[in-house]
Amino acid sequence: MSALQTLAAVDGSLSSVGYGLAAIGPGVGVGIIFGNGTQALARQPEAAGLIRANQILGFAFCEALALIGLVMPFVY
């Protein structure tokens, strides 16, 4: 069997690979949110309540994308 035939013989569910790729975006987004939030808190500590509320809202939106990526392989 040549390498090309072996590569073409790969079968099974690739949903775990799909979820891994889908989790990259929210992971980067969460890092950006909390990194910029930390910088904002260092620059304006008096606005801590507003900054923290916006961080939590952004985190919830990013994690919703991760949950959608987790559910989509099971839909098909």
SS3 11: coil
pLDDT digits (tens, 9 = 90+) for 60-69: 999 998 888 8
- Tell which wins on pLDDT, 50 or 15: 50
DSSP assignments along 16-61, one per residue: HHHHHHHTHHHHHHHHHHHHHHHHHHHH-GGGHHHHHHHHHHHHHH
The residue whose two tokens read 């959608």 is: 68
Percent pLDDT > 70 in the chain is 82
pTM over 0.85: no
Question: Which range is least confidently modeled, 13-17, 32-36, 50-54?
Answer: 13-17
| C-alpha span between 4 and 6 (Å, rounded) | 5
Most confident of 3-7, 9-13, 22-26, 31-35: 31-35
Distances (CA, A) of 12 to 15, 16, 17, 69: 9, 11, 11, 19
